[in-house]
Amino acid sequence: MGDFLTAAVAISVLFIGLPWLILHYITKWKQSPTLTNEDERLLDDMHVTARRLEERLQTIERIIAADNPDFRPSMPRREFPESDFRNHDYARRD
């Protein structure tokens, strides 16, 4: 009797409880709030600030390299493709 009860509970948890738990949290995840317009503006501002800081760093490295021919930048220069990030839908989940 005890073995049957243990097997019944294990099968119930495996085939009923686990799928219910997974579907419950998938539903909660899909209902979670997305980015607000203010959040998107903040992300855009941070992106612009990061670009400006990158340009400043490159300018400083060029000045140092002109003064010191042995200078090597700590990181290779990265070129970012010019994309219109303002049209990106940050709320979309890919």
Residue 13 counted as domain residue: no
What pTM, to 2 d.p., does this model score?
0.46
Phi, psi of 79 (to 5 degrees): -105, 125
Residue 43 counted as domain residue: yes
Residue 78 counted as domain residue: no
Residue 55 counted as domain residue: yes
**Number of domains forming the structure of the chain:** 1
In this prediction, residue 94 carries a pLDDT of: 45
> Can you give the residue range of the structural domain that contains 66?
37-73
Instruction: Give the model confidence (pLDDT) of 15-48 as tens digits.
Output: 999 999 999 999 988 887 778 889 899 999 999 9
pLDDT tops 60 at residue 85: no
Residue 29 to residues 34, 42, 89, 91, 92: CA-CA distances in angstroms?
Answer: 10, 23, 18, 13, 13
For the chain, the average pLDDT equals 83
Residue 41 counted as domain residue: yes
Residue 2 counted as domain residue: no
Residue 94 counted as domain residue: no
Instruction: Give the model confidence (pLDDT) of 2-20 as tens digits.
Output: 888 999 999 999 999 999 9
Residue 51 counted as domain residue: yes
